[in-house]
């Protein structure tokens, strides 16, 4: 069967059939996508993660279709209606819609009007009418009156026969495909406001769709999802219709009506009934669901790309950090962490109204910086963020306290960063946070999360449900199963691309490493706690339940800084250590010398080490890794400041040019934080003077930008911005 799947996937994705077949074999062996793309390039023809993920998704889709085909064949066979021709057609069908069309006449259904007519023995009359040779169908209908049935008159018999014809037409493949073609070409989606809700406050955000219509094929994913949400909230009413119902009816009649006699007239009437009562509602529902699926796929793709950019955000690294969760009435919760992210101290300060203990708070901040040797300060971007940053910057400009006897206070004040706190409250109430800090309350856990996000966004954000991070587009409205699959795949990709420090990673981070998972991740942490830090990758084999297959999948993505073997801190897989050792032997040097000395590496000829199992793609990866062993692929962190004269939406004026940070990217534009507690929107039309296909052509998440204020809508709390400064 895999040969069939490989051929179908190869054609669908336009990839080499051998590469696809080998990839399917590796997936069946239990290999992960990151492992295959990194360490099995010879077998896959150097397919990247995106291509392998697409193969995997298509493989799963085809397997689901095969399961459906098995069910259909079994059902039809039990009915005694499975012919050799029908079985062959179902076996060769790989289109889900076509498959359901073939199955429709045999599908068990609730009792319909046509079914009642069949029970009354009117099927022969329906077949007679369809032949359209009977000039006087009423006379023919008299033969079906009585005889133990409930048919009292010829009119009743003809109505029953028309019900059967209408259902026959609605189940006909050609009729359904013809109507689908009309919907694909001309369908219009219409949105109307429910009059009773038109003036409500909750309806205001949907005002653009109170009287809206456009071709369905041009309706963007964000507009469709917005309308669907409005419909779910009872504010909007949606419909999807072809441009001309009468034209659709006439096409159907041209297909089924072959005579101008009375029988033909009855069939024409049945065709119109079939369209209005059966076909149109069915196809409308089909396109309603299909358009939602398409919109979901696009929204999920956007969310996944935003999540990738967020997870791969620039890390500060292992520094001693102060984290501040800002607030007015409840004060600011402050935590101090060591370079490994361990909690050293926490307290609350009250520099803002209504308490206003600014001087006392300033002294406490200085003291904490001095006592815990703080190198950087992370401030959450929520309520009171701007005010807290200004307070902190004032406080750290005060001359430093006298150095203690054992430690000198840094002469330069710590750098101050504003960090997104989306999802911090979700983390602070989660089981992960309770397990990490069982004796601390949610405010302390939230502040710790903010500080750790500055140190390493990836390591901290993997602990939070991605839907709570706030970088999506209608993420709660899309198919949640598909969303979770795509986001989990994105997190796994990011974690394995960066690599994980085996001796400092949390169990939650380790579970995303190729080949591991929650159980093995916990076992690694438990082993580390009982036996001390890992000194080489081979020790992983001693971890309970971590067998050869899991070791093969995970080892290359785990790093051990300071390991005895320098290759243990690189992306070189242990199965390739012998290659590097041979290179070093051939140059009469050690592996460490080969890594440290560029002139030695330049003498290596990768072609000389090609074997039946190791090709140039792997050898080139090895050489690249030896040049930059353990290098973090993420960018460097940059400091940022908002305009000091702007604090709220009331301070804005059209034409202002302000600094901002990109907080979210959608298909229609990007949202930018300009420091007024309300993100502004840069529409895609305001991003570049040239035509662009997507906002990501111009901006990336957390990018620092300069924007111009175009429009301010106080009622709807909307700010329109432009990058065309």
The share of the chain scoring above pLDDT 90, in percent, equals: 80
397-416: average pLDDT: 61
Please say if the pLDDT value at position 186 is more than 50: yes
Beta bridge partners of 337: 321, 343
The secondary element (H helix, E strand) that includes residue 321 is strand 321-325
Please say if the pLDDT value at position 520 is more than 50: yes
3-state secondary structure of 200: coil
Q: Give the DSSP letter of residue 402.
A: P
Confidence band, pLDDT 50/70/90 cuts, at residue 407: very low
Please say if the pLDDT value at position 719 is more than 60: yes
Read off the pLDDT of residues 341-372 as tens digits, 9 standing for 90 and up: 999 999 999 999 999 999 999 999 999 999 99
Please say if the pLDDT value at position 422 is more than 90: no
Read off the pLDDT of residues 64-104 as tens digits, 9 standing for 90 and up: 999 999 999 999 999 999 999 999 999 999 999 999 999 99
Please say if the pLDDT value at position 455 is more than 90: yes
Q: From 349, 310, 312, 318, select the one nearest 447 (Cα to Cα).
A: 349
The secondary element (H helix, E strand) that includes residue 521 is helix 518-531
Is 586 exposed, middle or buried (CB count within 10 Å of its CB: 0-12, 13-18, 19+)?
A: middle
Question: For residue 613, what are its two tokens?
Answer: 């199992």
Do the beta carbons of residue 91 and residue 98 sit within 8 Å?
no
Instruction: Give residue for tokens 């690249």.
Output: 624
Please say if the pLDDT value at position 690 is more than 60: yes
pLDDT of residue 406: 44
Query: CA-to-CA distance for 495 and 134, rounded, in angstroms?
Result: 73
Termini Cα distance of the chain: 58
Please say if the pLDDT value at position 402 is more than 70: no
Instruction: Report the C-alpha dihedral over residues 692, 697, 698, 699, rounded to 10 degrees.
Output: 140
Read off the pLDDT of residues 540-551 as tens digits, 9 standing for 90 and up: 999 999 999 999
Read off the pLDDT of residues 459-500 as tens digits, 9 standing for 90 and up: 999 998 888 887 777 788 899 999 999 999 999 999 999 999
Read off the pLDDT of residues 140-168 as tens digits, 9 standing for 90 and up: 999 989 766 788 899 999 999 999 999 99
**Mean pLDDT estimate for the chain:** 92
3-state secondary structure of 422: coil
Read off the pLDDT of residues 282-335 as tens digits, 9 standing for 90 and up: 999 999 999 999 999 999 998 999 999 989 988 998 899 999 999 999 999 999
Read off the pLDDT of residues 46-68 as tens digits, 9 standing for 90 and up: 999 999 999 999 999 999 999 99
Q: From 444, 409, 403, 415, select the one nearest 427 (Cα to Cα).
A: 444
- Strand boundaries in 488-559, DSSP class E: 500-501, 558-559
Is the previous residue joined to 101 through a cis bond, with omega within 30 degrees of 0? no
Give me the sheet containing 236-241, strands edge to edge: 211-215, 188-193, 236-241
632: left (phi over 0), alpha (psi -120 to 50) or beta: beta
Query: CA-to-CA distance for 228 and 288, rounded, in angstroms?
Result: 10
Entry pTM: 0.85
pLDDT of residue 411: 55
Please say if the pLDDT value at position 37 is more than 90: yes
Alpha helices in 171-279 (DSSP H): 173-186, 221-232, 245-256, 262-273
Question: For residue 712, what are its two tokens?
Answer: 């301010």
Query: CA-to-CA distance for 42 and 144, rounded, in angstroms?
Result: 73
Question: For residue 277, what are its two tokens?
Answer: 């009562």
668-679: average pLDDT: 90
Do the beta carbons of residue 710 and residue 694 sit within 8 Å?
no
Read off the pLDDT of residues 265-276 as tens digits, 9 standing for 90 and up: 999 999 999 999
């Amino acid at each position: 069967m895999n040969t069939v799947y490989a051929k179908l996937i190869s054609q669908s994705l336009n990839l080499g059939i051998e590469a696809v077949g080998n990839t399917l074999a590796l997936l069946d062996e239990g290999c992960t996508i990151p492992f295959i793309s990194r360490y099995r390039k010879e077998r896959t023809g150097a397919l990247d993660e995106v291509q392998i993920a697409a193969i995997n998704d298509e493989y799963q889709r085809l397997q689901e279709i095969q399961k459906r085909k098995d069910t259909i064949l079994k059902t039809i066979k039990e009915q005694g209606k499975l012919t050799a021709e029908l079985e062959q057609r179902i076996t060769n069908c790989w289109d889900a819609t076509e498959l359901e069309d073939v199955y429709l006449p045999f599908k068990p259904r609730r009792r319909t009007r046509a079914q009642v007519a069949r029970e009354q023995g009117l099927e022969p009359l329906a077949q007679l009418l369809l032949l359209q040779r009977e000039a006087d169908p009423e006379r023919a209908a008299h033969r079906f009156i009585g005889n133990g049935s409930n048919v009292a008159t010829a009119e009743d018999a003809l109505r029953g026969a028309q019900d059967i014809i209408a259902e026959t037409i609605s189940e006909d493949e050609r009729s359904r495909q013809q109507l689908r073609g009309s919907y694909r070409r001309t369908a219009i989606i219409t949105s109307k406001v429910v009059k009773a809700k038109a003036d409500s406050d909750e309806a205001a955000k949907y005002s653009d769709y109170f009287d809206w219509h456009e071709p369905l094929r041009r309706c963007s994913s964000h507009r469709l999802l917005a309308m669907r949400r409005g419909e779910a909230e009872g504010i909007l009413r949606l419909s999807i219709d072809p441009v001309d119902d009468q034209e659709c009816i006439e096409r159907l009649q041209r297909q089924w009506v072959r005579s101008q006699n009375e029988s033909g007239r009855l069939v024409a009437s049945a065709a119109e009934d079939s369209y209005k009562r059966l076909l149109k509602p069915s196809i409308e529902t089909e396109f309603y669901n299909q358009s939602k699926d398409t919109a979901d796929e696009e929204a999920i793709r956007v969310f996944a790309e935003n999540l990738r950019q967020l997870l791969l955000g620039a890390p500060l690294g292992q520094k001693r950090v102060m984290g501040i969760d800002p607030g007015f009435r409840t004060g600011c919760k402050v935590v101090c962490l060591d370079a490994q992210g361990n909690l050293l101290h926490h307290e609350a300060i009250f520099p803002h109204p209504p308490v206003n203990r600014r001087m006392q708070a300033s002294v406490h901040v200085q003291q904490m910086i001095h006592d815990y040797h703080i190198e950087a300060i992370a401030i959450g971007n929520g309520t009171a963020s701007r005010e807290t940053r200004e307070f902190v910057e004032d406080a750290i400009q005060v001359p430093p306290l006298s150095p203690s006897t054992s430690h000198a206070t840094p002469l330069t004040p710590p750098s101050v960063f504003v960090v997104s706190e989306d999802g911090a409250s979700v983390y602070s109430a989660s089981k992960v946070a309770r397990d990490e800090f069982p004796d601390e309350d949610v405010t302390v856990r939230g502040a710790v999360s903010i500080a750790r996000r500055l140190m390493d966004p990836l390591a901290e954000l993997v602990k939070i449900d991605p839907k709570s991070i706030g970088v999506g587009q209608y993420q709660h409205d899309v198919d949640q199963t598909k969303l979770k699959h795509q986001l989990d795949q994105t997190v796994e990709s990011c974690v394995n691309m960066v690599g994980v420090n085996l001796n400092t990673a949390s169990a939650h981070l380790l579970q995303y490493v190729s080949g591991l998972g929650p159980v093995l991740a916990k076992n690694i942490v438990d082993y580390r706690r009982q036996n001390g830090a890992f000194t080489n990758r081979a020790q992983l084999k001693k971890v309970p339940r971590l067998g050869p297959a899991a070791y093969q999948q995970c080892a290359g993505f785990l790093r051990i800084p300071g390991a005895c073997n320098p290759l243990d801190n690189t992306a070189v897989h242990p199965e390739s250590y012998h290659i590097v050792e041979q290179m070093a032997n051939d140059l009469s040097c050690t592996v460490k010398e080969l890594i440290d000395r560029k002139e030695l590496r330049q003498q290596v000829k990768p072609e000389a080490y090609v074997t039946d199992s190791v090709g140039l793609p792997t050898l080139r990866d090895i050489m690249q890794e030896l040049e930059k062993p353990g290098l973090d692929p993420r960018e460097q962190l940059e400091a940022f400041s908002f305009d000091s004269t702007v604090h709220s939406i009331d301070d804005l004026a059209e034409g202002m040019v302000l600094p901002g940070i990109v907080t979210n990217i959608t298909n229609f534009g990007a949202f930018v934080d300009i420091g007024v507690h309300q993100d502004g929107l840069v529409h895609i039309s305001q991003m570049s003077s040239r035509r662009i296909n997507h906002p990501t052509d111009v901006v990336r998440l957390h990018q620092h930008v300069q924007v111009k204020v175009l429009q301010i809508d106080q009622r709807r709390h909307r700010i329109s911005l432009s990058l065309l400064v």
